[in-house]
Chains A and B, each alone.
Chain A
Amino acid sequence: MATFFGEVVVAPSRAGLDEEEEAREETPEDREIRREIEKKREIEVLWSCAEQPLVCSRFIVAIGRNAAAFLSSFILDSVCWEVVGVVKLWNEWCRTSSTTNVLPTDSFCLFYRLISDPTVLLCQCSCYVAEDQQFQWLEKVFGSMQKKDLQVTILSTCPVADYKTQESTLTLVSPFLKALKTKEFQEQVCCPLLEQPNIVRDLPAA
């Protein structure tokens, strides 16, 4: 794409990466570097309880700082809930550690279990899980559970500016709730369903 005289820039495209990058043959050094980076970006799920796999009937996942803060403020306490696991990961935006003693401003991903009913699990994920790590997160977390009539609830937030609607978002009363549900979920949903053409992406979608 030409801009002013003499300057040609590569136009950014919704198609994503320039395929030339992908089509180029990898040298052994490239392959080695790619493997090292992949290893660094691997996710580790560490459980602190003895019973493996964990039996789970209700799994509540809070993704993002707002949702995690909601759980901290209204649900979690040290009397009814115990920490049973942590996710250790690294990407360009954040690093989490295996410590379970976290500050609200830290990036972390912790799992809690309800002491009175150990099949109820809760996850607070305030760290950003990158695109290439989302599938891994999903497989490793759900892979270590023994599902028993499992019901999953995902809590997350999106900016109002991203909400697509006929009126302007300036006049919308916010915050507001919207839901997506699978057809297997038969219970009453507490808020309206998300209208087309709005979508959810990244870890909540995964």
Chain B
Amino acid sequence: MFIPCDRGGGSAAPDFKGFTLLMPAVSVGNVGQLAIDLVISTLDMTKVGYFYTDCLVPMVGNNPYATAEENSVELSINAEVYSLPSRKLVVLQIRSPFIKNKYRPFCETLLSWVKSSKCARVVLLSSSHAYQRDDEQLLGTPLRYLLTPDLEKAVGGRMKELNWKEMEKVAAYPGINNTDKVLHIPGGGITKLLFTESCSEGIQMAVLLKFCSEGDNIPDAFVLVNYLNEWLQLIKSEVNPSSQWKIPSSWRLLFGNGLPPALF
């Protein structure tokens, strides 16, 4: 699944042992993916490879993180891997939707790659439909987290210190029986599947998600990436952390082209 980039000189495949894998779920508002774009762009991460997969709709374009003429002509596809060895961070970016019936195969292949590359833990950035919140969730913070049992032991305490809110479970049969509770992440894409599979496979995974709706999701992405930063401290969060994230050049024209002058 993972194909390393050929960096020339016969360099060996990158080693991700002990690294944190940061990745998005393709979810409502694409918030996770936008947040990942901010991380890759701000930390100026190097592309180290891509996923050769039939689970995502194919797409290709020129380098979305281009800053100048020289670095703007590298091709970029739908699932690419970036790394920052100094922070033991490896990031997967997913740029297109899943093909029908391919959620499960993708999750299985991904988790098996996580195990074989010996990543220490996985952090999944996601989102969920804001309109499906219950009365209590409508108040307070729109951010939630989830930890697999293996990661709970390691960092559960830190989440309590940060005063973070765990994602609530909902009744499996609302109205009939309120005792059976299940995890429900509407609009979260592969989030629930990946999380439940990680629980059963003993993988250390954290899910960070935000309740949101479709629209201009750039502010949601900033909120989510700052949430992540509270924990992982990827950038110094001094006075105004939002101003320190670098917006990639590919975010231009998200809402259409310029207007025809003849309109006025």
- In Å, the complex CA distance between A12 and B187 comes to 10
B217-231 vs A, CB cutoff 8 Å, 1 = contact: the mask equals 000000000000000
Q: Which of B25, B27, B58, B103 has the most CB of A within 10 A?
A: B58
Whether, in the assembled complex, A164 has its beta carbon less than 8 Å from a beta carbon of chain B, the answer is: yes
Contact with A along B88-123 (1 / 0, CB 8 A): 000000001111111110000000000000000000
In the complex, chain A residues whose CB is within 8 Å of the CB of B192:
19, 23
- Selected contact of A14 from candidates B54, B188, B214, CB within 8 Å: B214
Partner pick for B97 among A15, A170, A205, CB 8 A cutoff: A15
| Contacting residues, chain A, for B258 (C-beta < 8 A) | 165-168
A134 interface residue per 8 A CB criterion:
yes
Q: Are A194 and B62 interface neighbours, CB within 8 A?
A: yes
By a CB distance below 8 angstroms, the chain B residues around A193 are: 62, 73
A51 to B4, CA, bound (A): 34
When each residue 165-193 of chain A gets 1 if its CB lies under 8 Å from chain B and 0 otherwise, what string results? 11111110000000011110000000001
Verify if A201 is at the interface (C-beta below 8 Å from B). Answer: yes
A-B contact pairs, 18 of them (CB 8 A): A2-B131, A15-B26, A19-B186, A19-B191, A132-B102, A165-B253, A165-B258, A168-B259, A170-B260, A171-B260, A180-B60, A183-B73, A183-B75, A194-B62, A197-B253, A197-B254, A205-B77, A206-B58
| B20-64 contact mask (Cβ, 8 Å, vs A): 1 or 0 | 000001111110000000000000000000000010011111111
CA distance A8 to B33 in the complex (A): 28
Closest chain B CB from A117 CB (angstroms): 28
A195 interfacial contact with B, CB 8 Å: yes
Q: Which of A11, A20, A182, A197 contacts B61 (CB 8 A)?
A: A197
- 6 more contacts with CB within 8 A, not counting A14-B29, A14-B97, A197-B251, are A11-B129, A15-B30, A22-B101, A168-B258, A197-B253, A199-B60
B62-A205 in contact (CB<8A) = no
Query: In the complex, A194 Cα to B129 Cα: how many Å?
Result: 34
Residue contact B97 to A11, C-beta cutoff 8 Å: no
Q: Indicate whether B193 reaches chain A with its CB closer than 8 angstroms.
A: yes
A64 to B250, CA, bound (A): 27
**Residue numbers in A under 8 Å from B99 (CB-CB):** 131-132
Spell out B's residues near A (CB within 8 Å). Answer: 25-30, 54, 57-64, 66, 72-75, 77-78, 96-104, 129, 131, 185-193, 213-214, 249-254, 256-262
Q: Which residues on A sit within 8 Å (CB–CB) of B30?
A: 14-15
Chain A interface (Cβ < 8 Å from any Cβ of B): 1-2, 11-20, 22-23, 34, 131-132, 134-136, 163-171, 180-183, 193-203, 205-206
Tell me the bound Cα distance from A168 to B256 in angstroms: 9
Chain B positions within 8 Å of A203 at CB level? 58
Identify the interface centre among A12, A15, A135: most chain B CB within 10 Å of its CB. A15
Query: Are the CB atoms of B59 and A201 closer together than 8 Å?
Result: yes
Taken together as a complex, chains A and B put the C-alpha atoms of A48 and B163 apart, in Å, by 68
The 10 closest A-B pairs by CB, nearest first: A135-B54, A199-B61, A168-B260, A206-B58, A16-B97, A170-B260, A205-B58, A197-B250, A201-B59, A205-B60
- Measured between beta carbons, the chain A residues less than 8 angstroms from B77 are 205
User: With A1-B131, A2-B131, A196-B249 in contact, do A13 and B61 touch (Cβ < 8 Å)?
Assistant: no
Q: Which of A13, A14, A167, A171 has the most CB of B within 10 A?
A: A13
Distance of A170 Cα from B251 Cα, bound (Å)? 22
- Chain A residues, Cβ within 8 Å of B64: 196-197
Contacts of B191 in A (CB 8 A): 19
Query: A13 touching B214 by the CB < 8 A rule?
Result: yes
B262: which of A18, A163, A170, A183 is its contact (CB, 8 Å)?
A: A170
Q: Are B57 and A201 in contact (CB under 8 A)?
A: yes
Interface pair A22/B103, CB less than 8 Å apart: yes
- B35: min CB distance to chain A, Å: 14
Tell me the smallest distance from the CB of A133 to a CB of chain B, in Å: 10
CB closest residue in chain A, given B102: A132
When chains A and B are docked, how far (Å) is the Cα of A18 from the Cα of B189?
Answer: 7
Q: Is the CB of A16 within 8 A of B26?
A: yes
Bound form: Cα–Cα A163–B61 in Å: 13
**Docked CA distance A165–B253 (Å):** 7
